[in-house]
Amino acid sequence: MTLELPDLTPGQFNLVYNMFSFTIATMFAAFVYFVLAQKNLAPKYRVSMMVSALVVLIAGYHYFRIFGSWDAAYALEGGQYVFQDDQPFNDAYRYVDWLLTVPLLVVELVLVLGLPKGESGSLMARLGFAAALMIILGYPGEVSGDASLMGERGLWGFISTIPFVYILYVLFTELSSTIQRQSGRVAKLLSNARLLLLATWGFYPIAYMIPMFSAGYPTETPGAVVALQVGYTICDVLAKAGYGVLIYAIAKAKSEEEGFVVDEMVKPASAEA
């Protein structure tokens, strides 16, 4: 899935360029934070931060590639960023990224709930499988030359919405009772994480539909191309790094409620006597 792109003004080109670079820095910084912050959590919640760390590491790698592909796809000629036919922009990095990270994002949420073993495994398997299926089924529509609503893009987009609706159904019905069982503070944080997931994931199908309603997309619609890249990028930062911070807050709150106080873990030897 390489994209032919329109020529851009320096302002348009640089906005996307700087957003990609911003995201690389954010993802790798989040990776370091999630790795280091694990030790502040009760051991049973550390694995959710491990998974959060993997997600932002994978995303950081892909943004590094996307940044390189964007940079190579354009050359500044006469004050204008001109698309280079021999260096098409590879947007498929996003699908590869999502195929790996989206199932991990639902796994994070399930892990931080700290459910009994049997329950948690089944939930992760079902949600993770649905998440992967959603990405796989969206892909044929994305690469299809036919971007119309009633054509291939519309068809595959519709089919891939089915697992998405299933995920939302599980999160907002099956998980609701589990969330209610938590303390007030944790329940509030979990609701926020679920809403952030809904708000950010909800943007992707909207973005997917842009080409259906933009005549001449992408080569004749520079504004739509820039809006789409910036939009995807903001969503990825919120859905991965921002969401990871929320998961961390949940894990921290639950650790404290269960009596894990980080300061007491490493009392000086003299104090133990």
Of 97 and 171, the one with the shorter C-beta distance to a copy of itself is 97
Contact 217, 6 (CB under 8 A): no
Q: CB nearer to a copy of itself: give 134 or 175.
A: 134
As measured in angstroms, the least distance from the Cβ of 140 to a copy of itself is: 12
The site string for a copy of itself over 208-247 (x = CB under 8 A, - otherwise) reads: ----------------------------------------
Query: Which of residues 78 and 177 has its CB atom nearest to a copy of itself in the complex?
Result: 78
77: phi then psi, degrees, rounded to nearest 5: -130, 115
CA–CA separation, 184 vs 127, rounded Å?
A: 25
Q: Judged by CB, which is closer to a copy of itself: 93, or 208?
A: 93
CB of 193 to a copy of itself, least distance (A): 19
Q: Which of 3, 7, 8, 17 binds a copy of itself (CB under 8 A)?
A: 17
Answer yes or no whether residue 89 interacts with a copy of itself by CB under 8 A. no
Contacts of 127 (CB under 8 A, 6+ apart): 103, 106, 107, 110, 167, 170
Chain centroid to CA 105: how far?
Answer: 7
Does 122 engage in binding with a copy of itself (CB under 8 A)? no
Member of 48, 52, 83, 97 binding a copy of itself (CB under 8 A): 97
Longest Cα–Cα distance in the chain: 76
Element (H, E) at 90: strand 89-90
DSSP 22-66: HHHHHHHHHHHHHHHHGGGS-HHHHHHHHHHHHHHHHHHHHHHHH
Q: Does 184 bind a copy of itself (CB under 8 A)?
A: no
Based on the shown chain and the rule CB under 8 A, indicate whether residue 125 belongs to the binding site for a copy of itself. Answer: no
CB atoms under 10 Å from CB of 186, counted, come to 22
Among the listed residues 116, 150, 177, 272, the single contact to a copy of itself using CB under 8 A: 272
Q: Is 205 near a copy of itself (CB under 8 A)?
A: no
Residue 144 is classified by DSSP as -
Total binding residues toward a copy of itself, as defined by CB under 8 A: 60
Question: Which is nearer to a copy of itself, 1 or 207 (by Cβ)?
Answer: 1
Residue 24: CB atoms within 10 Å: 18
Q: Is the peptide bond before 116 cis (omega within 30 degrees of 0)?
A: no
Classify residue 216 as left (phi > 0), alpha (psi -120 to 50) or beta: left
C-beta of residue 30 within 8 angstroms of C-beta of residue 108:
no
Q: Please choose, out of 36-44, 130-138, 214-222, 224-232, the segment that lies near a copy of itself by the rule CB under 8 A.
A: 36-44
Task: Report the interface residues with a copy of itself, using CB under 8 A.
Answer: 1-2, 10, 14, 17-18, 21-22, 24-26, 28-29, 32-33, 35-38, 40, 42-44, 47, 50, 53-54, 57-58, 61-62, 65, 75-77, 85-88, 90, 92-93, 96-97, 99-100, 259-272
